[in-house]
Structures are given as structure tokens and as C-alpha cells.
Amino acid sequence: MSLRQISTTVPSFADELRARTDEELHSLFTYRPDLITPVPGDIAALATRATSGPSLVRAIEGLNQWQFAVLEACMALAEPFTSTQIVKATEKGAEKVVTELYERGLIYKDEDGFRVPRAIHDFIGQSPAGLGPVSIAKLDLKKLKDAPKPALDLLAKLTWGSAKGTVSDIRKRGTPIAWLIENHFLIPMDQTTVVVPRELGLHLRGGKVHQTYLTTAPAISGDRRKQKDIDQAAIASISNVLRWCRELLNFWAEETPSVLQSGGLGVRDLRKCAEHLGVEEICAAFISEICYLGGLVVADPDGRILPTTAFDMWQVKSPEEQWRELVTLWLLSSRVAGLIGKPESKNINPLGFDLDRANAATIRKHTVHLLLENKELSPEVSSAQKFVEWVYPNRRGGSLHSDIVEWTLRECDWLGITGQGALSSFGERFINDDDALKINEALPKPVDHILIQSDNTAIAPGPLAIELDRHLSTFADIESRGGATVYRFSEASIRRGLDHGHSGDEIRTFLSKTSKTPMPQPLEYLISDVAKKHGRLKVGFANTYLRCEDEVIINQILKDKRLEHLRLRAIAPQVLVSELENSDVIEDLRSNGYFPTGENSSGAVLTSVGQMRAKSRPKPPRIIGELVTPSETIMATAIRTLRAGERASAKKPHLRTDIPRTTANETLEILNKYLGEEVTLVIGYADTNGGVTQRVIDPVSISLGTLLARDHASGQLQHFKIPRITGVVPA
């Protein structure tokens, strides 16, 4: 197969784009929407954008492994080349891929065949598929029959993979390397580096550009599931994820975490969240991230992480609406929660600034559509990774490419898009953008009662109503979750309810009304005992003082060796003071079995605010996503604008460089002369900054000192103020 260097005078890519039909341009913009975002002024500008680095990155990343292999083959052959030549250098079916590459603007054609734009050679590199450069000297491949065996062995090593090799010294005479260089079968790059010329490389490869071709996506392997079992597992996950979001944000409203100086949620606060939700830390990090995406939580300017008012609005929506909002944002997001907790990403935290990965949304969508194409199948992670690697080859994802596939499958299970690893009917309807997902019908109805047991626990036989759940969680801890939730009452949980302003009587009354079983006596005693102790010991602010009417408790605290680090001292029989902050003193006293409350300067008891909200507006993170396919209206407008820009550009060489200046009256007289004669005019038009530009127009009418004309640049009717027209000449 003969090759020659690509000429620097090849036909213009812009000229070929001009010759494309509107249908062909429509197809180009479907594959590459960035080309009309915004719409370029003319075809020359379109060609420049199509061969720019950012646009080529998007276009080439949109190719699967088979398409990219064919593109490399196009780059390896001499130009112009034909589809038949590409088939010989690759495999059957390449003709269709050549057509697809043409539609994407990655190759173009003239009367002799196809060509590759110079910018793509520069972007991908001058060594497609590991082949070397084109030889300047003419090669006589028949001489290979006379080559010494060591020389043939060396060429065999350089046949597949990189054509470049390292040798000891090219200046040595009488060696196999010297023989290859003398016959132009090796090109010396420096004293120790040689490269096989492209013509010889293709000959050694038997005319093929690549050793093997994977023309179709690899098959997916995994376990088969029944749809009924899938949906049962998925609806349980949907119920869980919505509950996790509520519990997490209600928890943060009560025990507000602080923002790290570097941004995001700290490790200790994340661990607390995980313990509260009863999940792994990575799952808690994921839940915090999807709440952040939905604007349900925000880092306030005062350094606290708090739920927003959007959380209250979100809670009153139906479960289906809540779920759809969160999953839609998750699918579009460029943030990768899986990075949190990885050993090599120690400084990456939930709600932080370092979670964005530009290709994350694309990999996530490919993974989700893999599930859609393989219903009732729970794919093996390795199988899914190979499939996505073929559909979306790893060109800038680094090692994260396969990781994001694995994390996406895991997150699909958490969200309920899948159940037991296979696509649920809810996930399928979501991917297909159905109006009704049928989640509300599948979820169990909220219950308005609990069943208190004799062991200081209460069972919720289903998901509790929002207000009931919020109220109960204030003074009870969740012990186990599932179809029925078990709540545990303890000294600490009752004290928490008292800290939030509920009295002992209020807690007893609420439980009596809510429970369908009578309240056991041990629980009544527990509530009464904690309420009796609560608030007897008071902590103030000077820097911290402790006040208690019971001197026995004061003496007990002074003698308690566990509290020596507080450096307490008595300033009165019923008053102690400490140098530490009051919040630290309260926490240490509680952890050692005491029941203090805070008080303000007037002696009034301070209660914790149960449901704090952020003062600032929700600030969801920006989404670094891929461009979506434009609508038909935008496509048609873009093509019409480009055609109008071409017409205007075609007239520019004939424009007069010096349009005679005219007064407003002279301008009006000239315009009236050409009005109705279907003559294209060139006018000088002053903008608001005093600059004058030339405009190509077709005059339509004049009214009230304004000219109505069709502007060739935009193809639209526009108004031109006659006093701002500096001159008029025929085009």
C-alpha cells in the first residue's frame, strides 16, 4: 500500500462544509451541538470552530472504540482515500463508520475521495495506531527477502504497538540496524532512537492498521432476576433514600456541623451522620451530596451547614416528585461522591469543591442505558466496565473511568433505579421520561400511630407521617430500620427532647395520644426521672459558670475526678466557674451522667432550636455537563443564519472600502431611489459607541425616520435609524 505525505494544499474543509446540504448540516449539529452554541457568523467560522481543540475533544470522545479505530485508519492512509481502502485496512462494516465520521465532520470529501482535516492530525498525533512517519525516501520492500534474520526479528518487535525503538548506537557499521537504515527500513531519530516508516509498518502488519478490531460492544454477563423481586427491592431502596434525606437534614437542623476551612463536611461530622442514619460513611456522603445538589442544604456564611427553606417545600411534595428531583440532578451532575474516602483523595470531602469530573455525567448515562438495554439482568461490575469502555473509550478519564462505572451501579441500587442490581420498572420509566413513575402507588401509605413496647421501645408499623416522624425523632433514637422502624427511648434521647423545649408532660401526652398500646410504667418513670433532674444544674456564660440550688450536686461535681480537666472552682455555695467554653462544659457534664441546661444572662433556661434553617438561599453546585442536542427550531435557525452569513460574506469582496458620507436628507433621497427596485445596498451604520460598520441590506420600507430592511448577516428584518446611516451605495 503506497503512501505519500499529506499535501499542504489540500481542498479546504470550509469549502466542503459550504457544499453540504441543509440535511447534512442538521446531522452534523445533532452529533456536535457545540458547533452552534452560539451560532457562528458564517461557514468559515463554523469550520474554524469544528477544528478547534475543545470541539475536537467532545467530538472524538463521542466515538466508540470501533469508530475511533476507523478514524485512526483514515489518518494512517494516504489522502484522498476511499471507503474500499478503509475496509481493506480494517474490517467489514467500516463503510458505515466512514459515513458516520463524515456526518460528524471528522473527515470530509472532494471529487477524489475522503480527507482528514489537518487539525485532527495535530490533535491526535502524527503516529496513528502506533505507526511511524511517512518515509521521504522510496522504499523497495522486495529487499526484505535479503534482510539478515536479526534485522527481521527487530522489525517483528516493532510491528505492533509503537514503531519507535531504542538501539545502542546507529553509527556502528555492519550491524542489522545499519543494514535497515541503509535500505531506509528504519528512520534514525537520534543516535539511539529509530522508527519504522509508515509504509513498512503497514506492510509488516499485512495491510491492517490495527491487530484486532472489536466492531461491536462486548456482551454483558450477570445474574438474571425476576421483575417482581427487582421492584420489591427497588421500592424499599426508594423509601430508604427519601427517609435518609429527611433524617439527615433534620439531624443537621438539630446538631449543626461546621464547614471546614478548606470547604465541605469534616470527617468527624460525616461519621456522626453515618452513625445517625445507620449506614456506611460513603453512603452518608452520597446522601449529603444529593441533598446538596437539590439545594436542600447549604453552607451558611457563618460557617454552618444547615437545611434550607427548600427542604421544607421538598417535604410537602409527593414521594414520586421528591425522588424524581433528586435522581434527575444526580444523573446530570458532574460531581462524583465515590471519590470521598478514597486513600488517594484524602482532602476531598462531601459538599467540597473538588468533586467535579467533567466526564462523570457521560459515563453515568452510558451505565444507566446499559441497564436499560439488559432488563432483568444484574450485570457483573467488570462486564459493565468493559462495555462502557467500548462505548466511551478512556481518553481523558484516567483510572477513574472504571471506578465511576462501579460507583454508578452502587448508587443506582441506593436510589432504587435498580433492585438486586437489575433495572427496576421505576428506573425504566424514569430513563424513558414517562410522566408517571408509579412510585406513590408502590410505596406503603404513611401511618399515624406507633406501638410502644414494655422494653422502652416503640414500633412504627410503616413510614410515619412527616410531622409525627419529626416529633418522635426529637426524643427517641432509631434502633433498627426496615418495613417497620424500631425507636428506643433512653435517658439521652429524653434529655434531648427536653433540651429542645419539650416538657416531660408534653412528651408523655404525645406518646399517649400517638401509641395504640398503653404506655408502660417503666417508660413513664424514665421520663419523670429525667425531667426531674433536667435543668437543676445550670450553665452560664461568665466565661462559664455552673449554678445549682442543690449543694450536694455542686460538691459532687467538685469531687468528680472525671471533671478535673474543667478546672472548676467554687465562688459561692451554689456556684462554680470554669475557664472553658460553656458548650464544652455542658457536653462533658452530660457525657459523665449529669443533666445540665443552659441559661441566659437573666437566668431563663435556653432550649435548643429543633428545626434550624439556613439564612442564605440554596446554592446548588454548578453542573459541568455535556451539551444536549438542540431542538429542531434551533437547528433550523442556525442553518438559516449560516446561509445568510455566507451570502453576506460572499458580497464582502465587492464592498466599497470608502462609502461616501451623506447627510440624513441625502441618505433618505438615495434610499427612496432604490426602494422597491429589489437592489441590495451597502450602508455605513454608526453604533451607540460611535463605531461605523458596513451592513448588507435589502430595503423594504421607510417610516418615521426609520428604514426597515432585511439584514443579510442575520436574515432577519431589522430597523435602522436614518440619522445613524453614514452613507449608502449599491452592493
pLDDT, tens digit, 9 for 90 and up, residues 482-534: 677 888 999 888 888 887 778 888 888 889 899 899 999 888 888 888 888 88
* Residue 460 confidence (pLDDT): 87
Sign of the alpha-carbon torsion through 556, 558, 562, 563: positive
Measured distance CA(490)–CA(718) in Å, rounded: 76
Instruction: Write down the pLDDT at residue 653.
Output: 44
What is the average pLDDT across 40-45? Answer: 86
pLDDT-derived band at 254 (thresholds 50, 70, 90) equals confident
> Which residues lie closer than 8 Å to 508 by C-beta, 6 or more apart?
519, 524, 527
- The model's confidence at residue 8, banded by pLDDT at 50, 70 and 90, is very low
Residues near 332 by beta carbon (within 8 Å), at least 6 away in sequence: 361, 623, 625
d(CA 589, CA 686): 78
- Residue 613 pLDDT grade (very low, low, confident, very high; cuts 50, 70, 90): confident
pLDDT at 63: 93
Q: What is the pLDDT of residues 288-306, one digit of tens each?
A: 999 999 999 998 877 889 9
For every residue of 205-236, DSSP letters joined together read TTT-SSS----SPPPP-EEE--HHHHHHHHHH
pLDDT at 591 over 90: no
Q: Residue 172's pLDDT is what?
A: 76
pLDDT score of 616 = 67
64-100: burial string, b at 16+ Cβ within 10 Å, e else: bbbbbbbbbbbbbbbbbbebebbbbbbbeebeebbeb
Query: What SS3 state is found at 364?
Result: helix
Q: How confident is the model at residue 4 (pLDDT cuts 50, 70, 90)?
A: very low
Grid coordinates 449506614 are at which residue?
279
Q: CA-to-CA distance for 288 and 282, rounded, in angstroms? A: 10
Lowest mean pLDDT among 134-148, 169-183, 379-393: 169-183
Instruction: State residue 115's pLDDT score.
Output: 92
pLDDT of residue 615: 67
Whether the predicted pLDDT of 65 surpasses 90? yes
SS3 470: helix
% of the chain beyond a pLDDT of 90: 37
Give burial (CB, 10 Å; 0-12/13-18/19+) of 483.
Answer: exposed
How far is Cα 465 from Cα 480, in angstroms, rounded to an integer? Answer: 18
Report the distance separating Cα 212 and Cα 329, nearest Å.
39
| Local confidence band at 88 (pLDDT 50, 70, 90 cut-offs) | very high
Range 311-328 average pLDDT: 94
Q: What is the pLDDT of residue 73?
A: 95
For residue 624, name the pLDDT band (cuts at 50, 70, 90): low
Do 582 and 541 touch, CB atoms closer than 8 A?
yes
pLDDT at 91: 93
Q: Which pLDDT does position 1 carry in this prediction? A: 43
CA angle 292, 363, 424 (to 5 degrees): 75
Res 383: pLDDT: 96
Separation between Cα atoms, residue 622 and residue 633, nearest integer Å:
27
- 80: cis peptide before it, omega within 30°? yes
| Residue 305 DSSP SS3 | strand
pLDDT, mean over the chain = 86
Q: With pLDDT > 70 as the criterion, what percentage of the chain qualifies?
A: 91
pLDDT at residue 271 in the model: 93
Amino acid letter, 335: R
Which among 690, 676, 688, 679 is positioned nearest to 728, based on CA atoms?
A: 679
Q: Which of 249-258, 277-286, 388-397, 569-578 has the least mean pLDDT?
A: 388-397
What 8-state DSSP symbol labels residue 350? T
Helix (H) or strand (E) holding 325: helix 319-332
Neighbouring CB atoms inside 10 A of 308's CB total 24
Is the alpha carbon torsion for 726, 728, 729, 731 positive or negative?
positive
The reported pLDDT for the residue numbered 2 is 43
pLDDT at 625 over 70: no
Residue 527, helix vs strand vs coil: helix
Confidence of residue 216 (pLDDT cuts 50, 70, 90): very high
List the beta bridge partners of residue 486: 459, 480
Residue 654 pLDDT more than 60? no
Task: Tell me how crowded residue 277 is: count the other CB atoms within 10 A of its CB.
Answer: 22
- Give yes or no for a contact between 217 and 390, defined as CB atoms under 8 angstroms apart: yes
Mean of the pLDDT values across residues 157-177? 83
Mean pLDDT confidence for 100-112: 92
The rounded distance, in Å, linking the Cα atoms of 596 and 553 is 11
Q: Is the peptide bond before 307 cis (omega within 30 degrees of 0)?
A: no
